[in-house]
Amino acid sequence: MSTVVLLGPQQPVPSLAPALHALDLGGPFCAVTAGWQEREGETAALEQHLGAEVVDLGLYRRTEDIFHRDPDFAAAYRARQMRLKELQRLYRIRLGHALAALRELMAVDGDRHALAHARAGALAAVRTLDRQHLREVRKVQAAFEADWRPGERAAVAEHRSAAAALIQESAALLIAGGHVAALVNRLRLLAIGEAARARCIVAWSAGAMALADRIVLFHDHPPQGPNDPEVLEPGLGLVENLVPLPHARRRLAIGDAARMRLFASRFAPARCLAFDRGALLEVTDGAWRRTKELWAIGRGGALVQESAACPA
């Protein structure tokens, strides 16, 4: 039986300890803080909150050691990352135009039937673009795996084995937030999804995003002005048919019903879930078992409260 628990942000009031207590898990725990990058391993506050030992897996540090010991692999990995960044740049350009056309169609008046047909086609074009981008990213990732076989590289195999052993010795794997791309890249390189598949995993913020089947970046209120939500890459796929949205009330234009309705329609049938402070979703073997303070973007664009009766 596999259990994944997704939580809202842990600052300023953490909810991790109550979630673990509800699962009757008392430690020791292992943690992934690679999303914190240079601050990786600063787990003193986490240990104090839990009252238990927390061993950091050190994925950021392990990746740097792999690159140092295997420079050819490191060069190929960085070339892959540059390729992915270029795909993201080109996708972002196309996405901006596709969303602009859809929003313009949503704002104009005209023949009801003709407009409905045009709007449906414009939405389908955006959804197709998202799917195409994910396929292109998967192709690049698959080609890299086939060409370089990371698991057969000595340094990678050594660190994968060491991380897997720590996971097996722990009551649960805790995955913190931070920089989501840095986090998911290291989770994937060190094969943490496979190592922890039969373990309890508790993740929050960017950690929750990394466990979904696709990672969606979003922010309606950055200093430079609203950004279009964009698909980054596939996540680990340990939870399916949902889009985790940490800090949703702060980062999304919740009061803009048209914008929120478009967001929900674009990623349907996946549920777009607002993970704000106190939010919790427990998924066991793909089924929702428990929710708390969990809200979704409804079809009308408003937030609606979710319950454990909803499918994962």
Residue 311 lies in a domain: no
pLDDT value of residue 94 = 97
Q: Are residues 245 and 99 in the same domain?
A: no
pLDDT of 308 strictly over 70:
no
SS3 173: strand
Q: Are residues 238 and 138 in the same domain?
A: no
Q: Are residues 76 and 62 in the same domain?
A: no
Q: Are residues 62 and 165 in the same domain?
A: yes
Q: Are residues 164 and 141 in the same domain?
A: no
Residue 8 lies in a domain: yes
Nearest-5° angle of CA 255, CA 311, CA 235? Answer: 75
Q: Which of 264, 304, 298 is nearest to 123 (CA)?
A: 264
pLDDT of 312 strictly over 60:
no
Of 161-165, 274-278, 298-302, the one with minimum mean pLDDT is 298-302
Q: Are residues 201 and 259 in the same domain?
A: yes
Q: What are phi and psi of 240, to 5 degrees?
A: -125, 160
Domain stop point among 122, 148, 174: 148
pLDDT tens, position by position, 100-145 = 999 999 999 999 999 999 999 999 999 999 999 999 999 999 999 9
pLDDT value of residue 295 = 95
CB 99 within 8 A of CB 228: yes
Domain stop point among 100, 128, 148: 148
Q: Which of 265, 262, 216 is nearest to 243 (CA)?
A: 216
pLDDT value of residue 53 = 93
Domain stop point among 88, 117, 148: 148
pLDDT value of residue 163 = 98
- Identify the helix (H) or strand (E) that includes residue 55: strand 54-56
Q: Are residues 28 and 172 in the same domain?
A: yes
Q: Are residues 56 and 93 in the same domain?
A: no
Q: Are residues 136 and 216 in the same domain?
A: no
Residue 310 lies in a domain: no
Q: What is the mean pLDDT of the chain?
A: 94
Residue 312 lies in a domain: no
Residue 186 lies in a domain: yes
SS3 264: helix
Residue 85 lies in a domain: yes
What share of the chain in percent tops pLDDT 70? 97
CATH of the domain at 274: 3.40.50.880
pLDDT tens, position by position, 8-28 = 999 888 999 999 999 999 879
Residue 92 lies in a domain: yes
Q: Are residues 157 and 186 in the same domain?
A: yes
pLDDT tens, position by position, 51-69 = 999 999 999 999 999 999 9
Domain that holds residue 32: 3-67+153-305
Q: How many domains does the chain have?
A: 2
Q: Are residues 249 and 173 in the same domain?
A: yes
SS3 254: coil
CB 136 within 8 A of CB 87: yes
Please report, in angstroms and rounded to a whole number, the separation of the first and last CA atoms in the chain. Answer: 15
Tell me how far apart the alpha carbons of residues 195 and 228 are, in angstroms, rounded to a whole number: 34
Q: Are residues 144 and 45 in the same domain?
A: no
pLDDT tens, position by position, 81-95 = 999 999 999 999 999
pTM for the predicted model, two decimal places: 0.93
